[in-house]
Structure 1
């Protein structure tokens, strides 16, 4: 099972950051929460801070654990571990995404997310 991490980053307007995977990439055009794979020797929190820095060029404070989503993608099991967090420095610069948006919790349902992210979306809307 592939263990990955995702950040639920919020701003001062209580909006959540979502990113759109670049067209031409696997699952291009879908939205996701920023994050990625855990490398050998990293904790989930360390991996999340590193991935967000690599993808968006921002530094984050990883907060409380939000929950997980398990998804089977054609034989490959994916366990998505979501953490709340906040941006502590930097301005967002995209490197692997086409765009990013700050959206209200109830607007999340209006976007097409990766299947593993959908459970996190449902939990965010419900809470």
Structure 2
């Protein structure tokens, strides 16, 4: 099973950052929480900080573990591990995404999310 990470980043208005995959990328047109693969020798937290830096050119503080979502990606089992966090420096610059939005939790259902992120969206909606 492939282990990957995702960041549920919030801002001072308690909005959540979502990003849309660009054309030509896997899951193009779907929104997701930024993140990616864990490289050999990395912890999940280290991988998440690196992936967000690579994808968005910002530094984050990785917070508490939020939960996981498992799914089948064309026969490959994937386990998505999500952590909460905040941007601590930098301005967002997109590389693998073509759009980003800061949205309120109740707005998440208005967007088409990748299958791996749907479970996390549902859990966020239920969170108090």
Instruction: Please state which band the TM-score falls in when normalised by the shorter chain.
Output: over 0.9
Deviation at 1:75, TM superposition (A): 1.0
Segments of 5+ residues of structure 2 without an aligned counterpart are none
Rounded Cα–Cα distance in structure 1 between residues aligned with 2:124 and 2:92: 23
Alignment partner of 2:122: what SS? helix
Rounded Cα–Cα distance in structure 2 between residues aligned with 1:30 and 1:7: 16
Moved more, 48-57 or 21-30: 21-30
Instruction: List aligned pairs for 1:96-115, cutoff 5 A.
Output: 96-115=96-115
Alignment partner of 1:123: what SS? helix
Rounded Cα–Cα distance in structure 2 between residues aligned with 1:113 and 1:60: 22
Poorly superposed stretches of 4+, deviation over 2 Å: none
Deviation at 1:5, TM superposition (A): 0.2
* Residue 47 (structure 2) pairs with residue 58 (structure 1): no
- Report the count of equivalent residues: 127
Deviation at 1:38, TM superposition (A): 0.1
Provide, for residues 99-126 of structure 1, a one-character-per-residue CA deviation record: whole Å limited to 9, x for no partner: 1000000100011111010000000001
Segments of 5+ residues of structure 1 without an aligned counterpart are none
Aligned to 1:80: 80
Rounded Cα–Cα distance in structure 2 between residues aligned with 1:34 and 1:50: 11
Aligned to 2:40: 40
Deviation at 1:26, TM superposition (A): 1.6
Q: Output the TM-score relative to the length of structure 2.
A: 0.98
Provide, for residues 75-95 of structure 1, a one-character-per-residue CA deviation record: whole Å limited to 9, x for no partner: 110100000000100000001
